Amino acid sequence: MNLFSKAFASTIPIFPKRFIRIFANKYIAGDKLSDGVKTVQELNKKNMIATMDVLGESIKDKKEAEQSKNESIEVLDAISKYKLNSNLSVKLTMLGLNLDYDFCLSLFTEIMQHAKELNNFVRIDMEDSSVTDSTLRIFEDSKKNFDNVGIVIQAYLRRSEYDVLKLTEMKANFRLCKGIYIEPEAIAFKKRNEIRNNFLKLIRLILEKKSYCGIATHDDFVIDGSRKLISELGLNKEDYEFQMLLGVRENLRDKLVIEGHKMKIYVPFGERWYEYSIRRFKENPNLAGQVLKSIFTRN
């Protein structure tokens, strides 16, 4: 880990909120649903699709979880009202996954039902390894009743090959990413090349099994490897998509769109942007380094 990133990340919580906002601005659509809608409209005009995420993670009680569920439903309604080309991403800990499995499943089912009525799609984000099993269980339980649900697999986890093989059996719709949480070596690859190689191995497994794959990365190595695989397997646009975070590597993003690949942008918004940013910076100090770099280079 870069010492500069680490030092910078440790000082973040003492910065005024106003200052953090400057750093976070590029990566977060804004405080309100209307900010998210505006950002997605701009992306749609540029030939990109989106997935919207209401910011926040673990919640303390069931009332907060209900509120999160209502917010997700409002997002689905806004997507429909403004005819946005976007779906929804949700974090299950915001729906009470750490409080009560059945309660979380019932809230998530309400969201899924609403999405189905609106002909939309919901992807379950993957959080840290303490909830991998329960997150996959909710996905598998939901998949029995809904086609319009997708899951995320993290290439840094050693278990992911097993999970991918199991989930391709049920024709899961995948987002594959490296994984953003700090995990112990016993369960996660740590070396950059190991993670990259596992990423490419998993994309191949998913695509060869004819499951849909959202390739979520800004890494040239993984993107180049994916491009080669896409042409080797003779895939067309309906079989896969690239995904990137709002505000990250926009030149590369635009290039992939011009090349004709489908590009989905992850658009986070919400009042809890501050807590979200601080947590993300603390979880992964390298991110803080990247944010800082982007402030200076504006890339």
* Residue numbers at the binding site for ligand FDA (CB under 6 A): 125-126, 152, 154, 177-181, 216-219, 243-245, 248-249, 266, 287, 290-291, 294
The Cα–Cα gap between 178 and 192 comes to 10
147 among known catalytic residues: no
CB of 234 to ligand FDA, least distance (A): 25
Tokens, residue 289: 């380094």
CB of 124 to ligand FDA, least distance (A): 8
62 versus 204: smaller Cβ distance to ligand FDA = 204
CB of 264 to ligand FDA, least distance (A): 7
125 among known catalytic residues: yes
Residue 115 and residue 75 in contact, taking contact as beta carbons nearer than 8 Å: no
53, 123, 125, 196: the catalytic one is 125
The Cα–Cα gap between 91 and 2 comes to 29
Residue 151 and residue 139 in contact, taking contact as beta carbons nearer than 8 Å: yes
175, 196, 253, 280: the catalytic one is 175
Number of Cβ atoms within 10 Å of the Cβ of 236:
8
CB of 179 to ligand FDA, least distance (A): 4
Residue 211 and residue 233 in contact, taking contact as beta carbons nearer than 8 Å: no
160 versus 217: smaller Cβ distance to ligand FDA = 217
Residue 155 DSSP one-character state: T
135 versus 211: smaller Cβ distance to ligand FDA = 135
Residue 273 and residue 242 in contact, taking contact as beta carbons nearer than 8 Å: no
6 versus 81: smaller Cβ distance to ligand FDA = 6
The Cα–Cα gap between 30 and 34 comes to 8
Q: Name the residues annotated as catalytic.
A: 125, 175
